[in-house]
Structure 1
Amino acid sequence: MGDDKGRVTGLGGIFFKTGDKAETLAWYRDRLGVQTTDFGSVFLWREHGDADETGYTVWSPFAADTEYFAPSDAPFMVNFRVENLDALLTSLRAEGVRVVGGPVDEPNGRFAWIVDPEGRKIELWEPVPSKDDPYLAG
């Protein structure tokens, strides 16, 4: 399946700060037709080369005062889907990349957070297989 060093395999999510989360969700729903819930929206897709494997990308506004993006001051955070998170973190640490959290195990996968050279926090997500993902069940 992969690279012993770990690697990014796709875009897992886009998260951004907003002054009024409810108003933002309503605007995207009413004007662009984005199907939203309290957290945002999930866009489903099929894995290239394996139509049985489903994935998703999350779009989610956060309150302007969220601490979730800390230590970054950026008004957004990108989530990358990765394979072999442990190997990737080992490689990144060896290259001097600042790891600010994780790995953390969640029902839908494992997460870790790094900071890029300009101070933006990046979320790394090693998803569980789609058949095991509770957010895809049903």
Structure 2
Amino acid sequence: MKRVTGLGGIFFKCQDPEKIKQWYKTHLGLDMDQYGAKFMWQQEGDPGRKGYTLWSPFSDKTKYFEPSSRDFMINYTVENLEALVAELKKEGVTVLDEIETYDYGKFVHILDIEGNKIELWEPMGD
């Protein structure tokens, strides 16, 4: 079973997300939407299968990264979230919540051995 298939997103805390998005847009040319910047890519070996990696600033007051105390969270794409979560639970990995489904994919959060919160994402269509 494949586990992680790619980097889905890089999320980090900052004092003013809108200001930081504007700085990156002005000085580095990142094209922003409400969530941040999307870096589009094609799957190796299947150029018709497209995806993206999201770069997204969050308020430094966000509670979304909890229980981790870190200022960042990494999102990884996966192929079969239900099967992976079952395996991770068998392996003793801390799974923080239940799988949630949205129109753009399924999500769940886990902790690594140092307490870093990780978001796992199965994009729709995968």
The TM tier, using the shorter chain, reads over 0.9
Q: Which amino acid aligns with 1:21?
A: P
Alignment of 1:51 onto 2:85: no
1:87 corresponds to? 83
- Structure 2: tracts of 5 or more residues without a match: none
1:111 partner amino acid: F
Q: Aligned-residue CA RMSD in angstroms?
A: 1.1
Amino acid of the residue matched to residue 54 of structure 1? K
Kept in 2: contact 1:53–1:129 (CA 8 A): no
Q: What corresponds to 1:19 in structure 2?
A: 15
Alpha-carbon offset, residue 38 of structure 1: 2.6
**Pairing partner for 1:62 from 43, 58, 63:** 58
Give 1:25-40 correspondences, 5 Å limit: 25-40=21-36
Which aligned runs of 4 or more in structure 1 are off by greater than 3 angstroms?
none
1:62-111 CA deviation, whole Å, 9 max, x = no partner?
00000111111100000000011111111111111100012000111110
Quote the Cα distance in structure 1 between the aligned partners of 2:25 and 2:98: 33
What number of residue pairs does the alignment pair up? Answer: 126
TM-score of the two chains, using structure 1 as the length reference = 0.88
- Do the aligned partners of 1:46 and 1:55 also contact (CA within 8 Å) in 2? yes
Partner in structure 2 of residue 71 of structure 1: 67
State, as a whole percentage, how many aligned pairs show the same letter. Answer: 48
Find the aligned partners of 1:127 and 1:37 in 2 and give their Cα distance.
19
